Structure 1
């Protein structure tokens, strides 16, 4: 079956406004990229295709959308378990898994898996030990394993930046967090790899919280509106109650008094929380 891998690589490279030389840097020769993009009869190793996919910020299966790849393997299963534990706020169990897997060659010898574990370790250390500076250091270390270029970011890298912005907010470094949210939104909107709007809802809510701390109430209000619009479009209640509540608060700060609209927003927030 012909998957037109070369065409997909070229389209994605051009989408990111990346030259062949930039894509090839430290991976292969520019001539090899040119040959691949022309779909000439050339053998592309799994390792080469993996490195190219990492540079372009997509999973390798992006190039094989018609195939039925195995859904689970050991590594994916471990990553999913750690993520589920963190989402369930079971930080002790997640931290133990991270510490164990850091010794596993399947993780310790692969950059994007080392990145994943450092990201998850940072979150655990923040909530278990309250050591926010150490957590921030780990997040920056995890980003050092990025294999994309300076022109794009993978979905995971965007999620790590979100974690960093949240942490900066908790450290009351609101201006830095605000600048980072601007960067996150720029790259998230451009990314062809983001398939879940939950990421955008998360960005808008946390960016709104941060803008509120900066007393930029109009900006916070606009972020809330963006998040609410996505929730309604996707028929999702993810963070919707919090968005309604925060929008009500920002409106009060803007207008200096309560109104029917604000009371309605509080009622809508309560309705979501009680669901």
Structure 2
């Protein structure tokens, strides 16, 4: 799907006889149009809509079926695009794609239908702020797989449910689902280390919300061990920060320093300045509180 959007965008622009700069004018930058056409990035739903308007096209043009591919190939491209949009938190674009694919009915297997329902539920929560309906959609997605058949996708769906409960401050429900994810992951013998790290990180955040900081630290350390074993930086900075912050809460400030230093080093490498600011704020708030 990512390749489909990039090729169709380039084809339509050239057909209209306009340059990248002319297309970008009033919408985005010429460099962004170039990246879209190369498939290096994907336009947000708002930007894609404006591009379609300027090219005098229906936005469905960009999501049309590519006759050179099988439905399954096209489905995999669509899934890749949705995952990319999830990382960018572009829920409007995901919601549009999900609705389009449901209408086309190319996602015919239970696994594919489940994938669409999963992301429909996520979008419903973040766009409509309706946690009850979103969780109902996600539970209906889970019913497409047998009760004891734990897959990467079903565990990921449960992880999404746990995150929603956390977001609406239903911490006990969040804790129960995160623990269920952890148990199902271990029973399934999956090798997806990123999923396990995500589960442990979410679990640790929920434990902190329940003022169970010592347990949260243990879960973070388990996740860090996986990161080190897999030589992965995924959430590693956040995990070190989480431990440091919990140690500050427990008034073990001296011990927290080594974890904040490790977190800072990783965030500097990643260019994650937002978290660097958060670390400084945590330290400042603590010492301000102690002086008072």
TM over 0.5: yes
In the alignment, is the contact (CA less than 8 A) between 1:152 and 1:187 conserved in 2?
no
In the alignment, is the contact (CA less than 8 A) between 1:166 and 1:206 conserved in 2?
yes
Q: Which residue number corresponds to residue 99 of structure 1? A: 99
Q: Which residue number corresponds to residue 212 of structure 2? A: 216
Q: Secondary structure at the match of 1:172?
A: coil
CA distance in 2, matches of 1:93, 1:178: 30
Q: Which residue number corresponds to residue 23 of structure 1? A: none
Q: Which residue number corresponds to residue 239 of structure 1? A: 235
CA distance in 2, matches of 1:139, 1:209: 22
Following superposition, the deviation at residue 202 of structure 1 comes to: 0.4
CA distance 1:152–1:114, shift in 2 (3 Å):
closer
Q: Which residue number corresponds to residue 43 of structure 1? A: none
Q: Secondary structure at the match of 1:73?
A: helix
Q: Which residue number corresponds to residue 86 of structure 1? A: 86
Q: Secondary structure at the match of 2:106?
A: helix
Following superposition, the deviation at residue 78 of structure 1 comes to: 1.4
In the alignment, is the contact (CA less than 8 A) between 1:207 and 1:223 conserved in 2?
yes
In the alignment, is the contact (CA less than 8 A) between 1:241 and 1:270 conserved in 2?
yes
CA RMSD of aligned residues (A): 1.7
Following superposition, the deviation at residue 87 of structure 1 comes to: 1.6
The number of aligned residues is 199
Q: Which residue number corresponds to residue 137 of structure 2? A: 138
The structure richer in helix per residue is 2
Whether 1:272 aligns to 2:266 is: yes
Whether 1:198 aligns to 2:219 is: no
Gaps in structure 2 of 5+ consecutive residues: 1-69, 270-292
Q: Which residue number corresponds to residue 124 of structure 2? A: 125
Q: Secondary structure at the match of 1:103?
A: helix
Q: Which residue number corresponds to residue 14 of structure 1? A: none
- TM-score between the two structures when normalised by the length of structure 2: 0.65
CA distance in 2, matches of 1:207, 1:163: 12
List aligned pairs for 1:1-275, cutoff 5 A: 73-107=73-107, 109-146=108-145, 148=146, 150-192=147-189, 194-254=190-250, 256-259=251-254, 261-275=255-269
Following superposition, the deviation at residue 89 of structure 1 comes to: 1.7
Following superposition, the deviation at residue 111 of structure 1 comes to: 2.2
Q: Which residue number corresponds to residue 40 of structure 1? A: none
CA distance in 2, matches of 1:156, 1:216: 29
Gaps in structure 1 of 5+ consecutive residues: 1-69
Q: Secondary structure at the match of 2:144?
A: coil
- TM-score between the two structures when normalised by the length of structure 1: 0.68
CA distance in 2, matches of 1:151, 1:133: 24
CA distance in 2, matches of 1:131, 1:253: 32
Following superposition, the deviation at residue 80 of structure 1 comes to: 1.6
Structure with larger RCO (C-alpha < 8 A, sep 6+): 1
- List 4+ stretches of structure 1 deviating above 3 A: none
CA distance in 2, matches of 1:140, 1:240: 30
